[in-house]
Structure 1
Amino acid sequence: MKCKICSKRVLGRSDKLFCSIKCKNYYHVNLRKATALVVKELDTILHRNRSILLEILGKKKAQCKIERVVLEKKKFRFKYHTHQNINNQGKTYHYVYDFAWMEFSNDEILVVRRPLNIKK
């Protein structure tokens, strides 16, 4: 078997992937770097989406309807969300952390804030 990094022959156990600690460390450090870059980019998009929803609802309102065009103008990215939930009427709520949106009609979006259940 050959090392995943330098292609030298690997000695020892049959399931060993690297010829040395140096090659093993190199592999894992670069794997973490690549993962961190992708996660940072996605996290930035999710936080921006949440900020847009917070700006629309403000600090007091629990929900409101808004035209889809308004969200599009603010560069809201509809395909990025943390999770989703289908209610008992079959409508899908797309969540960004503690905020959610649902397509109310072709032109309107219902934006809601989910109360946080933080235990102290």
Structure 2
Amino acid sequence: MKCKICSKQLVGRRDKLFCSVKCKNFYHVNLRKVTAIEVEKIDSILHRNRSILLEVLGKNKVQVTVERMMLEKKNFTFKYHTHQHINSKGKVYYYVYDFAWMEFSNDEILIIRKSK
């Protein structure tokens, strides 16, 4: 087998992946950098989505129904959410942290704030 970084022949255990601590550290540092960049992009989208839901719902309301187009105009990204829940009727609630939305067939969106 050869080192994942410098391609030197490996000596020692069969499951060894790197020839030295230097190559191992190089690999993991770069892996963390790439991961951090992607996580930052996605986290930014999630935070923007939450801010949009908070703006639309307001501070005192628990739920509101809005047109899908209104969220799209505010650059809400529907494909990014933190988790989802399927209720007893088979409807899917998509969550962004403490806010959720459910899509209706008539292009209306129900937005709710999860109770604490």
TM-score (structure 2 length as normaliser): 0.97
Q: Secondary structure at the match of 2:49?
A: helix
Distance 1:24 1:91 in 2: 47
Q: What residue in structure 1 maps to residue 84 of structure 2?
A: 84
Distance 1:69 1:63 in 2: 18
Q: What residue in structure 2 maps to residue 97 of structure 1?
A: 97
Q: What residue in structure 1 maps to residue 71 of structure 2?
A: 71
Distance 2:33 2:109 in 1: 37
Q: Cα RMSD between the aligned structures? A: 0.8
**Count of residue pairs the alignment pairs up:** 116
Q: What residue in structure 1 maps to residue 52 of structure 2?
A: 52
Aligned positions of 1:1-120 closer than 5 A: 1-116=1-116
Among the aligned pairs, what percent are the same residue? 72
TM-score (structure 1 length as normaliser): 0.94
Distance 1:105 1:24 in 2: 52
Distance 2:81 2:52 in 1: 13
Q: Secondary structure at the match of 2:105?
A: coil
Moved over 6 A (4+): none
Unpaired runs of 5+ residues, structure 2, are none
Unpaired runs of 5+ residues, structure 1, are none
Q: Secondary structure at the match of 2:101?
A: strand
Q: Secondary structure at the match of 1:46?
A: helix
Shift of 1:106: 2.2
